[in-house]
């Protein structure tokens, strides 16, 4: 087992308590029970519009910084996923009563955007191994929550498969995401990246993910 794989497995265990809080967030249960006011989903759509708009720039910047490294294909795949998500988000926005103008005009909640602000910082200053590890660890919990959102929106709010395509896109992360992230981590560890900095990126991104769901649950 490589040092990178050992580190990744260690982080999986260390992140379990935080992941459990994300996966068991009361907002998800409220969606599944149908107790979330329908207008709240306009908030979610507006937040995601600004999040993905920022993340598209961040991942594009990562591509420009790592164009000649093994990380290029990893970030290219992430970028294509973000582009597809942005297109599907427009359909979700329309389903909950928000056109493009309304999505763009939405004023973001700072708690919901701590994640994307930190992603912009990582894109500018972080190592590829930090970002790849953070994405790979985060996408599992995010994907599970998106699957629950999709089911709840269809079962309790009458949305269609097309309406919830945004959530379905994230519900099944690529099966090789971890292996590719570990490969990038391995390369950067050999070049001097500290395991402590990888752990920090993972911990912060997961913590900001929890703050996002808090913002959905209790808007300010």
> pLDDT per position in the chain (220 positions), as tens?
799 999 999 999 999 999 999 999 999 999 999 999 999 999 999 999 999 999 999 999 999 999 877 899 999 999 999 999 999 999 999 999 999 999 999 999 999 999 999 999 999 999 999 999 999 999 999 999 999 999 999 999 999 999 999 999 999 878 899 999 999 999 999 999 999 999 999 999 999 999 999 999 988 7
Cα–Cα distance for residue pair 118/122, rounded to 1 Å: 6
Within the chain, residue ranges assigned H as helices are: 3-14, 16-23, 26-33, 40-65, 71-95, 100-105, 114-125, 128-157, 165-171, 177-190, 195-217
pTM: 0.94
Q: For residue 108, how many other CB atoms are within 10 A of its CB? A: 17
Phi/psi region, residue 25 (left: phi>0; alpha: psi -120 to 50; beta: rest), is beta
CATH of the domain spanning 3-217, picked from 3.40.50.510, 1.20.910.10, 3.40.50.970, 2.30.40.10? 1.20.910.10
């Amino acid at each position: 087992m490589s040092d990178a794989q050992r580190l990744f497995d260690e982080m999986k265990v260390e992140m379990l308590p935080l992941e459990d809080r994300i996966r068991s967030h009361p907002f998800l249960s409220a969606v599944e029970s149908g107790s979330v006011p329908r207008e709240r989903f306009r908030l979610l759509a507006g937040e995601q519009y600004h999040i993905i708009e920022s993340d598209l720039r961040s991942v594009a910047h990562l591509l420009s910084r790592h164009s000649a490294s093994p990380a290029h294909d990893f970030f290219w795949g992430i970028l294509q996923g973000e582009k597809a998500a942005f297109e599907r988000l427009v359909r979700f926005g329309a389903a909950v009563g928000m056109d493009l103008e309304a999505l763009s005009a939405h004023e973001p909640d700072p708690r919901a955007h701590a994640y994307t602000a930190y992603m912009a910082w990582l894109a500018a200053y972080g190592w590829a191994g930090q970002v790849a590890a953070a994405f790979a660890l985060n996408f599992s919990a995010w994907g599970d929550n998106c699957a629950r959102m999709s089911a709840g929106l269809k079962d309790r709010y009458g949305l269609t498969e097309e309406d919830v395509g945004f959530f379905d896109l994230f519900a099944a992360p690529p099966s090789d995401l971890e292996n590719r992230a570990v490969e990038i981590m391995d390369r950067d560890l050999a070049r001097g990246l500290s395991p402590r900095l990888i752990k920090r990126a993972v911990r912060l991104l997961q913590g900001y993910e929890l703050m996002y769901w808090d913002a959905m649950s209790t808007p300010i």
